[in-house]
Amino acid sequence: MAEPHSVYTPTKRTIPARKPERLSYDVAAVNAVLDEALVCHVAYQVDGIPAMIPTLHVRIGDQLYIHGSTGSRLMRAASENGIPLCIGVTLTDGLVMARTWFNHSVNFRSVIIHGDAVVVTDKDEKWDAMVALMDHVAQGRAEGSRSANKREFAATAMLRIPLVEVSLKVRSGPPGDDEEDLELPHWAGVLPMETVFGDPIPACDLPVPTYIAEHQRSKRLSEVGD
């Protein structure tokens, strides 16, 4: 699917109250975060009660899909007329240790999405989203496990949110201490953070598939290990 635009149009909800230099509407940069992250936080309201759930997501072109059980609160609420959602996807890249408390920060990339989600009713679209979600968890896994049967397919709900009202906030680089603090006798720098995978814990006697072993290695911190 071709990208319909390369920059999101800012809206009242995606214009920042402060630090505009950290904000981006770049579609490619947003996609990179959505594709790297596995988990998102979804905020919604049911009967006037604010709620939030963490869940898995996957992007296909300019649509985000999140899956869940047809019995979940979110899916039941969405199945009537759709539901407005606010979704946050955050990757933390490092702890920023400044010479002063005040200038401490975190290096991060965070996407916030606003939009009305609808339950996917087209069966082909739903199937494609399920395949994409499996392969988002580990590329090759859709082929590498038994696909959904009729009952399982029916018990799985998939929500679609158009990627239209989207913003990305990024902080990177060294601490930003003020000039007059640079001579303070305190260590300053960044402690990089990354999510890595450990050795697979098998639940069967079959050999670990190549795509899982590779997936594991691709996420190992280059700095880790002696």
224 makes contact with a copy of itself (CB under 8 A): yes
**Contact status, residue 113 vs residue 163, Cβ threshold 8 Å:** yes
Beta carbons within 8 Å of 95's beta carbon, 6+ residues apart: 104, 106, 107, 190, 191, 193
CB of 33 to a copy of itself, least distance (A): 12
195 makes contact with a copy of itself (CB under 8 A): yes
List the interface residues with a copy of itself, window 146-165 (CB under 8 A): 146-149, 152, 155-156
CB of 173 to a copy of itself, least distance (A): 9
List the interface residues with a copy of itself, window 86-115 (CB under 8 A): 86-88, 90, 92, 94-95, 97-102, 104, 106, 108, 110, 112, 114
**Contact status, residue 144 vs residue 209, Cβ threshold 8 Å:** yes
What secondary structure does DSSP assign to 158-183, as a single string?
EEEEETTEEEEEEE-SS----GGGTT
List the interface residues with a copy of itself, window 22-81 (CB under 8 A): 38-39, 41, 43-45, 49-54, 56, 69, 71-73, 76
82 makes contact with a copy of itself (CB under 8 A): no
220 makes contact with a copy of itself (CB under 8 A): yes
Element (H, E) at 92: strand 83-97
